[in-house]
Amino acid sequence: MQYTPLDKVQPQYDVVVIGSGLGGMTCANRLAEAGHTVLLLEHHVQLGGLATWFKRGGHIFDVSLHGFPYGMVKTCKKYWGRAIRDSIIQLQHIVFDNPQFSLTTTFSKDDFIRILQERFGVSQTVVSEFFATVDAMNFYDDQRLTTRELFAQFFPGRSDIHRLLMEPITYANGSTLDEPAITYGIVFSNFMNRGVFTFEGGTDKLIGLMAAELLNKGVDICTGARVERILVEDGVTRGVVVKGREIKATAVISNAGITNTIDNLVGPEQFAADFLGRFSKVQVNNSSCQVYFGIRKGESIGNIGDLLFTSTAAEFSSEEMRRMDTKSRTFSVYYPKTRPQAPPDYTIVASMNADYDDWAKLSPEAYRLAKEAMIERCFDDLERYVPGVRAKVDTIESATPRTFHRYTLHTKGTSFGTKFEGLDISRSLHKQIDGLFHVGSVGIIMSGWLGAINYGVIVANDVDSYLRS
Ligand SMILES: Cc1cc2nc3c(=O)[nH]c(=O)nc-3n(C[C@H](O)[C@H](O)[C@H](O)COP(=O)(O)OP(=O)(O)OC[C@H]3O[C@@H](n4cnc5c(N)ncnc54)[C@H](O)[C@@H]3O)c2cc1C
């Protein structure tokens, strides 16, 4: 791909987008289509943000391509075109395996209704009422009811059912039982719509198609371009400073985390006290650890499922899931069908929730040992599904919250931005500083691949109106 070297970019644009996550890229795409001049600046050498991949030992590893809801089909067709939409395919085998139950599901509503009745013995009336309640939840509902209270209402004392309903969502975005039930309900309903989907061809293909689309529309793209500062004068955005160079812009959209944007790129001194008061209540979501296994060419692992939610912990606990020695992990299995265009390859990615502070405080030696211990725990668990797996693996890599922080610059390496309160801060940024907008993971609904793209469309519309006015 032919990106623009920083010294060749124009001195002035209608819009500068800081960061090329799915939210940032979608904003750039929509605004270029609307006829605005757009510069996209990315600190990493590769576009995509957390929607990323890397090559090691002849394998390609996907970092966040584990599953998204069916809504991606409509969203991608409308905002990114047919080629991207046509590569979205369903995952068929979602496996749960823990001391309370083991089952395989398509993760669709029909299948969950069947499982809740046949396997967990819940009456049809209760199941129907539960689904009717979560389906009807929307963004403007009362936020006081927590997910814990919602579950207690329909399935009192049934920690096995709470685990079935909650564990995948906690893996997906770190949410806990004590957050507003609407944030759970909206995400759960999105998945229950039709099941879990993936992108055939891999993250590299998706981001390659998106980058080509941006270049076609005339977006200037610079990688290795970390923005140091957003310029603000008299409450109005003037542009950015990147590697010591000033670039002027009528509007700036930050896809850097909302906390980084306010604390480091703009500076709190530019905001009103009441806004900072609300901002101080924003909680950052947890980060992740991952272990990547590449299977030696010629070896097979059989069909063990596409996504395996596995745990040896007695009961579901979002605290347990963030511990360094957690017994809970998701295995995402990538078969040769993931990249039909490439030579056959099997890779497996173990993902765990994690707290940045646990990993940040370790000395270099303690950090190395902690990573080794994590890899061993993943191997032990994987052995249950792929006997003799140690002998089949030729490449191992691992990532911790420190890794996610290094590549994205996100506060505490957060995988899913902030909790729900961050949305109001993100949406009201332009009311504080004219011409400054934020896009990116704030609250569960605006996170994940689908949430980030949809939020990108919303913010692009705001910026388009601003530029036209
Ligand atoms: C381990 C893991 C697994 C996941 N699995 C899934 C999944 O299965 N399904 C799903 O839907 N979602 C998943 N997600 C979440 C999903 O990947 C993210 O929610 C989404 O990609 C975030 O998009 P974003 O627009 O918020 O930007 P981000 O991806 O967070 O990107 C922000 C970009 O801004 C750049 N940036 C930051 N500061 C600067 C600066 N100063 N100058 C220039 N550039 C800067 C960063 O380098 C980065 O490229 C997962 C995330 C993780 C970490």
Structure tokens at 104: 């395989």
Q: Which pLDDT score is estimated for 192?
A: 86
Tell me, in angstroms, the distance from the centre of ligand 1 to residue 51's CA.
6
| CB within 8 Å of 416: residues ≥ 6 apart | 173, 174, 285, 286, 441, 444, 447, 448
Q: Which pLDDT score is estimated for 182?
A: 86
Residue that has been written with the tokens 């090559």 in this structure: 55
Is the distance from the beta carbon of residue 23 to the nearest atom of ligand 1 less than 6 Å?
yes
Structure tokens at 444: 């569960």
CB 336 within 8 A of CB 347: no
Is the distance from the beta carbon of residue 52 to the nearest atom of ligand 1 less than 6 Å?
no
- Indicate yes or no: pTM above 0.85: yes
What are phi and psi for residue 79, nearest 5 degrees? -110, -15
Q: Which helix (H) or strand (E) holds 248?
A: strand 245-254
Say how many Å lie between the first and final Cα of the chain, rounded: 34
Tell me, in angstroms, the distance from the centre of ligand 1 to residue 125's CA.
40
Render each residue's pLDDT in the chain as its tens digit; 469 residues: 789 999 999 999 999 999 999 999 999 999 999 999 999 999 999 999 999 999 999 999 999 999 999 999 999 999 999 999 999 999 999 999 999 999 999 999 999 999 999 999 999 999 999 999 998 887 676 778 999 999 999 999 999 999 999 999 998 878 899 988 988 888 888 888 889 999 999 999 999 999 999 999 999 999 999 999 999 999 999 999 999 999 999 999 999 999 999 999 999 999 999 999 999 999 999 999 999 999 999 998 999 999 999 999 999 999 999 999 999 999 999 999 999 999 999 999 999 999 999 999 999 999 999 999 999 999 999 999 999 999 999 999 999 999 999 999 999 999 999 988 899 999 999 999 999 999 999 987 788 999 999 999 999 999 999 999 9
Q: Which pLDDT score is estimated for 141?
A: 67
Is the distance from the beta carbon of residue 348 to the nearest atom of ligand 1 less than 6 Å?
no
Helix, coil or strand: residue 195? coil
Interval 338-395: pLDDT, tens = 999 999 999 999 999 999 999 999 999 999 999 999 999 999 999 999 999 999 999 9
Is the distance from the beta carbon of residue 413 to the nearest atom of ligand 1 less than 6 Å?
no
Q: Which pLDDT score is estimated for 249?
A: 98
Interval 207-239: pLDDT, tens = 999 999 999 999 999 999 999 999 999 999 999
- How big is the CA angle at 219 (ends 214 and 222), to the nearest 5 degrees? 100
Measured from the Cα of 399, ligand 1's closest atom is: 1
CB 365 within 8 A of CB 371: no
Task: Please report, for residues 257, 416, 449, the alpha-carbon distance to residue 48 in angstroms, rounded to integers and kept in the order given.
Answer: 14, 15, 10
Closest CA to 357 of 418, 405, 408, 419: 405
Residues linked to residue 433 through DSSP beta bridges, in sequence order: none
Q: Which pLDDT score is estimated for 280?
A: 97
User: Angle of helix 147-154 relative to helix 124-135, nearest 10 degrees?
Assistant: 150
Q: Which pLDDT score is estimated for 172?
A: 82
Measured from the Cα of 225, ligand 1's closest atom is: 43
Nearest CA to ligand 1 atom 8: 66
Mutate to test the pocket of ligand 1, among 3, 27, 255 (most ligand atoms within 8 A of CB): 255
Is the distance from the beta carbon of residue 84 to the nearest atom of ligand 1 less than 6 Å?
no
Measured from the Cα of 449, ligand 1's closest atom is: 11
Q: Which pLDDT score is estimated for 184?
A: 87
Tell me, in angstroms, the distance from the centre of ligand 1 to residue 18's CA.
13
Q: Which pLDDT score is estimated for 406?
A: 97
